[in-house]
Amino acid sequence: MTSGASTAATPDAEAIATAVRTAPAVAALHAGGLRLVVTLLPGRRVKGVQVTDDRVTGSVGVARGVPIPVLTDQVRARVAPLAGGRPVDMHVADLQLADEEQPALPPGPSA
């Protein structure tokens, strides 16, 4: 089940997306590829964050030269307090070069 409403049991997907974006190693949120990473909310979706009953998944483009463990540590430190005790999984969907303004690959198909 995918949810974004903030209750005691369900983390706020938009707050999580904001927290992910603050990590210096994150170039951008990414909606995934063949398997979308989104949270559906009434009338909109939060791309790059999926909140389910048992976990939180973030999908990002990483800045060039950043080791993956550094990225995951930065993001998990920011998201864990918002995740309601759920594990935080990370998916690196793209590598953003220093001189690029947009991710190198499009964020996959929209549903």
Bridge partners (DSSP) of residue 89 are 57
Taking CA atoms, 49 is separated from 11, 37, 97, 98, 99, in Å, by: 11, 6, 22, 23, 25
pLDDT tens sequence across 22-78 = 999 999 999 988 889 999 999 999 999 999 999 999 999 998 889 999 999 999 999
Quote the pLDDT of residue 65.
87
How much is the pTM?
Answer: 0.78
Domains of the chain: 13-96 (3.30.70)
Q: Is the pLDDT of residue 103 over 50?
A: no
Quote the pLDDT of residue 33.
81
Across the range 18-23, mean pLDDT stands at 96
The dihedral through the CA atoms of 70, 74, 77, 82 has a sign that is negative
10: left (phi over 0), alpha (psi -120 to 50) or beta: beta
Cα separation, 16 vs 89, whole angstroms? 13
Q: Taking the chain, what is the end-to-end CA distance rounded to the nearest angstrom?
A: 16
